[in-house]
A and B are shown apart, each in its own frame.
Chain A
Amino acid sequence: MQRDALARTGALIRHNVLLMLREPGPLASRMILPLVFLLLLHPLYEQAQGQRAGVTQAVVATIVTFSMLAMSIAGGSILTERIWHTWERLRASAAHPAELLVGKATPVLAALVLQQAAVIVFGVAVLGLRVSALPLLVLVMLAWGVTLTGMGAALGLLVGSLSSLSACYDIGGMLLSSLGGALVPLTAMPAWIRHAAPVSPGYWAVSALEAALRGDAGRAVLASVVLLAFAAGACLTAGIRAGRGWGRALRV
């Protein structure tokens, strides 16, 4: 029985990876654009904050901003199931809902973590970024990836079309990452923004990533826990929405 479940989950993961690769444009742009952004803007950050702090800020800003925009990978993956009427067909199969969830989430999470990893590797290899605690950084990247996957899935379940989804990610992603101090350090922002910043998951992502890069385990773990709380909230929203007949397509 467990073997069957693993086989089904494996088939779902494989299929969702394949769907991403069949339409590689969105994934490729989410991977390449951050690197271009980082390459072009890191001198600005270095000039403002010095070499080490500037590179760290540039890398963190790039990761948080572009990973928030990359939530569209999660939302798009969910929404297309409804557009194609395949979600109900999956639900009518022998697969357990948890298998469907893992099958959909794993490739998305992998893509989001890979995007972060690409920026980090680029930062280390090209810009001289220093990573003090790699395992801690990996944990933070995973926590942030889970949060993004949950929020992306929730948005994918809440909106009704790909264009609405795109607008939500573009506006919301930019807003939340800016509010979180990703693009411009919070110290340079007005006081009211500094007070409002913790409501944005972007704030906690910036905080967790900076802490992990400098080796501050306490701060990194705390921020990661907050991120996972955001993820739990998003998953709860998604679960409630999915439980209310989302994606009903069978018309017999």
Chain B
Amino acid sequence: MLEASGLVKRYGDRHALDGFDLAVSEGEITGLVGHNGAGKTTFVEIVTGLVRADAGKVTVCGIDALRDSRRARRLIGVAPQEQALYVTATVRDNLRLFGALAGLRGVRLRQAIEQVAAELRLSDVLGQRTGLLSGGQRRRTQAAVALLGEPRLLLLDEPTAGADPETRQALLAAVRRRAAAGVAVVYTTHYLPELADLGATLAVAREGRVIARGSQQSLMHGLPGELRLRFDDAADGEGDPRGSTRDRASCVAGGRDGPVSILTDGVAEGRALAVAARPAAAPSDRVSPAAAGRWPLPAQLASRARTVGGELRISSADPPGDLAALLAAGCAPVSVDVRKPDLDDLYRAIAAEVPGAA
């Protein structure tokens, strides 16, 4: 359905795209993810004919989208991230214009508007000016414009950003229905659970290239998550809960060369804890777990631990095992969260594997 290969686009010395490859089949939902500047915008602009590629090839349903852009555009529905609606016009006016531009006329146009409005729960606001709609309603109108005209390829840019749950569900359901009907979907988001909901495959863009492609499960497999532990601030009876949490998170671990103190005091948030080795010959320095609420941090966790905002965070590929080790060491957190690996973890892991991707 969509095939892009070797796309190159330069802006002066900067390569916005540098050999961008992406193929999306009929009925497939591809989650295109990547940080700002990864090349996603430029890719979409090239597919929709807004920007000329310096090199490469794009076909949409076999049509050369670079040479015959207008023909290709007839098959594409786009929902940009920024609101792109005529705010003084009603929802119906907006849909009527873009439906007509997509080739719908007369009864077919009217029916398509009613249908997409019902699907995205906009029927009650068809006569309202888009400038007066709520954020969620505007999001749905944005998406409705893209869905009109039965496109074969949908390019949706964070269509649920800032949307309420109702809007999110309506949009995801609409996308799923289109994919089930054979529409190819390129869906950008920073919210990976949404892509999991859609059963989307991932394409990770970085510095103008797609550096990883596959199912979310296969790409995320083996990536470490994070244990997040909070401690009982009130028990210290101090005014500053973050300070008291730090004290609680201060702990002593047994290192290879002897006991190792890991002290949070004076360490900037977000950075790894300072690790200070103590002579093995001074076992008496070892702080008892019972003393002042301190406990020994297992040595195998020391290099993966850091504090952020009063939390002790431990990068972990085996959260249950690491938590068991912590509890066995006397750690008594008031709450433990296990964060699953996210996009940042994926980027970091891929950057470590792909030469030049970092």
Contact = CB atoms under 8 A, between A and B. Distances in A.
A250 B86 contact: no
B157 A18 contact: no
B67 to A, nearest CB: 15
B96 interface: yes
A251 B155 CA distance: 12
Interface stretch (A92-100, A129-137, A161-169, A227-235): A92-100
Contact of A11 (B80, B82, B85, B96): B96
Interface residues of A, number: 28
Nearest to A87: B84
Nearest to A8: B101
B93 A250 contact: no
Contacts of A4: 103
A94 B100 contact: no
Given A93-B101, A94-B103, A252-B41, A85 B84 contact: yes
Contacts of A18: 89, 93
A15 interface: yes
B295 to A, nearest CB: 48
Interface string B127-163: 0010000000000000001000000000101000000
A175 interface: no
A86 B96 contact: no
Contacts of B96: 11, 15
B101 A250 contact: no
Question: Among A88, A93, A95, which residue has the most Cβ atoms of chain B within 10 A?
Answer: A93
A93 B101 CA distance: 6
Interface in A220-252: 245, 248-252
Contact of A91 (B50, B89, B97, B157): B50
B97 A92 contact: no
Contact of B80 (A93, A245, A251): A251
Q: Which of B32, B45, B81 has the largest number of chain A CB atoms within 10 A?
A: B45
Contacts of A250: 41, 44-45, 48, 50, 78, 80-82, 84, 157
Interface residues of B, number: 39
Contact of A251 (B41, B43, B98, B129): B41
A85 B157 CA distance: 14
Contacts of B97: 11-12, 15
Nearest to B41: A252
B70 interface: yes
B247 to A, nearest CB: 45
A250 B101 CA distance: 18
B288 interface: no
A86 B155 CA distance: 16
Given A12-B97, A93-B98, A7 B84 contact: no
Contacts of A11: 96-97, 100-101
Interface in A182-229: none
Contacts of A245: 51
B85 A84 contact: yes
Contact of B78 (A8, A92, A96): A92
B86 to A, nearest CB: 6
Contacts of B51: 245
Interface string B102-137: 110100000000000000000000000100000000
Contacts of A93: 73, 98, 101-102
21 contacts: A8-B100, A15-B89, A22-B89, A23-B88, A84-B84, A85-B84, A88-B80, A88-B84, A91-B50, A92-B50, A92-B76, A92-B78, A93-B98, A94-B103, A249-B82, A250-B80, A250-B81, A251-B80, A252-B32, A252-B81, A252-B155
The 7 A-B residue pairs with the shortest CB-CB distance, nearest first, are A11-B100, A252-B157, A85-B84, A93-B101, A92-B48, A252-B44, A89-B84
